[in-house]
Amino acid sequence: MSETRKARSIGIDLGTTNSCVATIDEKGRPEILENRQGQRTLPSIVHLEGDSRILVGAPAKRQAVTRPKSTFFAMKRLMGRRFHDPEVERLRKALPFEVAEAPSGDAWVRHADRLVSPQEISAHVLFALRDVASERLAHEGPFEAVITVPAYFDEVQRQATKDAAAIAGLTVRRLLNEPTAAALGYGAHKFGGGRLAVCDLGGGTFDVSILNVEDGAFEVIATDGDSALGGDDFDLRVVSHLAAELEVEHGFSVLEDPVALGRLREEAEKAKQALSETAEGSIDIPFLGTVRGARLDYHRVLKRGELESFAADLIERLEGPCLGALAAAGLRPDAISQVLLVGGMTRMPAVARKLENVLGRRAARNTSPDEAVAIGAATQCAILDGHVTDVVLLDVTSRALGIHSGNGKLVPIIPRNATVPTRGSRILTTSGDDQAELAIEVYQGEDVELERNRHLSTVVLGELPKTRAGEVMVLVDFTVDVDGILGISARELGSSVPVSIQVKASSGLPRSDVDRLAKERAASGPIER
């Protein structure tokens, strides 16, 4: 009989732009796992070539310029969303690859003549991270992972993340809210706790969360954000200024040349990053294009002050969500005891300055902002393994859960911000004689108007005893587990016999597809990263 290998625990920050994996060393300390090239984060980018070649991370990013239609990124923003979701409609216009409607109505992407779910693409990123861990830890598997998700992710988006992990062959020990992970990563519980503001500016989004940390217990009390503000916007500002200059000074229309534009964007991002450390940087692109038959070599010195002025309005926009989160928490800035900065963009001095000014406090600088979330996820592994005993994580439901009352209104069953795990129940009765089935529509959201909430599933309770209308009473139990995932059970009150229950989810991958994709993933060749 083959020996069962012991699972290793890893913490994963599955980011929109970059991802990161960490573990706990022998002494119980979290550490980031670097890849072979010494990189500590992996771009969340996947390039698919034909049916079998899969590139992830830096090699995939290099394909983005020349093969934009088969190089996929920003999957986290599509995962678990409907095709007609306004956020998806907005994104579709900005993404260079095709976002298409799956038969289920979900937002998927097109690769050649095939539709692929964002879960499947994200699974390649997770698989690459698993590969990094495998190599660094000299451990083939199995792996158990704590994976982070935005605090506002609804149940469908959380389930989609779990499905992506299952396809990648990872067992999910826990889904952890990103702000909670960041606070853990910064070790907030070690220095007194209090009210924390976690500001996360990544590649595509800005999230602000207010946490209460007390006696080692972490609770997210409010979140706000701007889902259309991130590092990509800063890059675009630089690109559009340089493009205008190129037009005037050299008569070169870089916006009409996709390859040149891709190269300019890449160099603009590098210069933006360098300007976080130095006051000026240079952009050099040999043979950017040809103008009137002559080769154009591009050289431009970019100053930090220029970057700040190009992006001044973007920096101003950081204020709204900070004030929004404070208002939602019912707090004034002076009630905040710590400001934690998360996401690569908070390395930009003007960004950090702005957040510190609005929140009236210097930010903690003891951890790398782009690693704090993964470090926090690994710390959660240590908590679950019993290596860290002075912390209790209390996460809360991101949205309320309720059912359709029959008159277009939502009846809440589990409120928003309830500490998980939690449960709620409701007694339902039949409305017709000999009614053998009861169907309920389950929604997530707080709006009393049904349409403004997210439809999660249709639940059919069957095999009810046949009798007069109103005589059958069914107790329906809703549970939300620590990962924020909903479970439903039901029993008939008279006989206490469990009723049959069928849940038809309105979004996401069926279990059978997840299992099939996991088998395919395990059987297919290695990915290039």
Stretch that binds ligand AMP, among 29-37, 265-273, 409-417, 517-525 (CB under 6 A): 265-273
CB 98 within 8 A of CB 112: no
Stretch that binds ligand AMP, among 103-111, 219-227, 317-325, 343-351 (CB under 6 A): 343-351
Stretch that binds ligand AMP, among 143-151, 181-189, 270-278, 520-528 (CB under 6 A): 270-278
CB 301 within 8 A of CB 336: no
Q: Is 276 in the site for ligand AMP (CB under 6 A)?
A: yes
Q: Which residue is nearest to ligand AMP (CB)?
A: 231
Could you say which residues in the range 114-153 bind ligand AMP, by CB under 6 A? Answer: none
Of 271 and 488, nearer to ligand AMP (C-beta) is 271
What 3-state class would DSSP assign to 342? Answer: strand
CB of 175 to ligand AMP, least distance (A): 18
DSSP assignments along 27-61, one per residue: TS-EEEPP-TT--SSEE--EEEETTTEEEESHHHH
Q: Give which of 25, 14, 62, 21 is closest to 382, Cα–Cα.
A: 25
In this structure, what token pair is assigned to residue 290?
């040809």
Binder to ligand AMP among 272, 300, 399, 521 (CB under 6 A)? 272
Stretch that binds ligand AMP, among 209-217, 266-274, 431-439, 440-448 (CB under 6 A): 266-274
Encode 480-516: b = buried (16+ Cβ within 10 Å), e = exposed.
bebbbbbebebbbeeeeeebebeeebbbbbeeeebee
Of 43 and 508, nearer to ligand AMP (C-beta) is 43
Encode 169-196: b = buried (16+ Cβ within 10 Å), e = exposed.
bbebbbbbbbbbbbbbbbbbbeeebebb
The helix, strand and coil proportions of the chain, stated in percent and rounded to the nearest 5, come to: 35, 35, 35
Q: Is 269 in the site for ligand AMP (CB under 6 A)?
A: yes
Catalytic site positions: 13, 76, 178, 200
Number of residues forming the site for ligand AMP (CB under 6 A): 19
Distance CA 208, CA 357 (A): 15
CB of 457 to ligand AMP, least distance (A): 32
Binder to ligand AMP among 30, 80, 118, 202 (CB under 6 A)? 202
CB of 370 to ligand AMP, least distance (A): 5
Of 229 and 442, nearer to ligand AMP (C-beta) is 229
Which H/E stretch holds residue 522? helix 511-523
Beta strands in 343-462 (DSSP E): 392-393, 401-404, 410-414, 422-429, 438-444, 454-462
Of 16 and 435, nearer to ligand AMP (C-beta) is 16
Q: Is 211 in the site for ligand AMP (CB under 6 A)?
A: no
Binder to ligand AMP among 30, 80, 150, 231 (CB under 6 A)? 231
Binder to ligand AMP among 345, 375, 420, 474 (CB under 6 A)? 345
Stretch that binds ligand AMP, among 22-30, 332-340, 341-349, 414-422 (CB under 6 A): 341-349
Q: Give which of 300, 312, 302 is closest to 254, Cα–Cα.
A: 300
Distance CA 9, CA 162 (A): 16
Could you say which residues in the range 437-456 bind ligand AMP, by CB under 6 A? Answer: none
Of 225 and 402, nearer to ligand AMP (C-beta) is 225
CB of 33 to ligand AMP, least distance (A): 16
Could you say which residues in the range 354-393 bind ligand AMP, by CB under 6 A? Answer: 370
Distance CA 449, CA 322 (A): 28
Distance CA 401, CA 423 (A): 10
Binder to ligand AMP among 8, 10, 14, 18 (CB under 6 A)? 18
Stretch that binds ligand AMP, among 70-78, 339-347, 399-407, 434-442 (CB under 6 A): 339-347
Encode 204-221: b = buried (16+ Cβ within 10 Å), e = exposed.
bbbbbbbbbbeeeebbbb
Q: Is 239 in the site for ligand AMP (CB under 6 A)?
A: no
Binder to ligand AMP among 8, 9, 10, 17 (CB under 6 A)? 17
Residues 6+ apart with CB under 8 A from 455: 441, 442, 443, 506
In this structure, what token pair is assigned to residue 462?
């069957």
Residues 6+ apart with CB under 8 A from 316: 354
CB of 12 to ligand AMP, least distance (A): 14
CB 442 within 8 A of CB 456: yes
CB of 342 to ligand AMP, least distance (A): 7
Q: Give which of 221, 218, 177, 155 is closest to 414, Cα–Cα.
A: 155
Q: Taking the CA of residue 117 as centre, how many other CA atoms within 13 Å lie in the half-sphere pointing to its CB? A: 25
Of 364 and 472, nearer to ligand AMP (C-beta) is 364
Q: Is 344 in the site for ligand AMP (CB under 6 A)?
A: yes
Q: Is 32 in the site for ligand AMP (CB under 6 A)?
A: no
> Which residues of the chain form contacts with ligand AMP (CB under 6 A)?
15-18, 41, 202-203, 231-232, 269, 272-273, 276, 343-345, 347-348, 370
